């Protein structure tokens, strides 16, 4: 399975109410997975996952969807193209929040021998406790009506 090439793009609609995210993973054997995720801004939303036997079809789908969204009023917020990861820990870091929600599914779809990996590898990182002081620091209007 490794190395895996990871490409991610996050887009926000120019009106600021909708997000669209694209993720492409390509394994060493050319097997690829393209994930489309969309919904209201800052929400997980809906997800569509497609598996491809070769990387060219996956790249074509990924680029086509990216052009369609950019022509439809979406602007890039985050772009991480062609990051090569060589082990499960690096993949976890490259996927970020995607790992917690979809990590096991994505590795299965790439044919990664997931049975050799413990479920602890897919456990969510504990969320740091957010205090009122943290919220006020992040938003001075917090708590005002």
pLDDT the model gives residue 63: 96
Task: Provide the 3-class DSSP secondary structure of residue 30.
Answer: coil
Task: Please state the domain count of the chain.
Answer: 1
Stated pTM of the model: 0.76
Report residue 60 as tokens: 């074509």
Residue 144 in any domain: the answer is no
pLDDT at 61: 96
Digit-by-digit pLDDT tens for the chain (145 residues) are: 789 999 999 999 999 999 999 999 999 999 999 999 999 998 889 999 999 999 999 999 999 999 999 999 999 998 888 899 999 889 998 888 888 888 888 888 888 644 345 555 555 556 677 787 887 788 777 677 5
Q: Quote the pLDDT of residue 112.
A: 65
Is residue 143 domain-resident?
Answer: no
Q: Extract the runs of DSSP E, i.e. beta strands, from 86-128.
A: none
CATH number of 20's domain: 2.20.140.10
Distance of alpha carbon 17 from alpha carbon 45, whole angstroms: 12
How many residues comprise the chain? Answer: 145
Rounded to whole angstroms, the Cα distance separating 118 from 100 reads: 14
Range of the domain at 58: 4-138
């Amino acid at each position: 399975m490794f190395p895996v090439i990871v490409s991610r793009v996050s887009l926000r609609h120019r009106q600021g109410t909708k997000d669209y995210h694209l993720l492409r993973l390509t394994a060493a054997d050319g097997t690829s997975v393209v994930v489309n995720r969309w919904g209201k801004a800052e929400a997980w939303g809906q997800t569509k996952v497609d598996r491809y036997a070769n990387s060219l079809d996956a790249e074509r789908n990924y680029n086509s969807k990216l052009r369609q969204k950019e022509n439809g009023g979406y602007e890039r917020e985050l772009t991480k193209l062609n990051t090569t990861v060589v082990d499960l820990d690096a993949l976890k870091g490259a996927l970020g929040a995607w790992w917690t929600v979809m990590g096991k599914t994505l590795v299965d779809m790439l044919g990664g021998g997931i049975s050799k990996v413990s479920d602890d590898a897919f456990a969510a990182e504990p969320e740091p406790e957010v205090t009122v002081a943290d919220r006020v620091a992040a938003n001075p209007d917090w708590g005002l009506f």
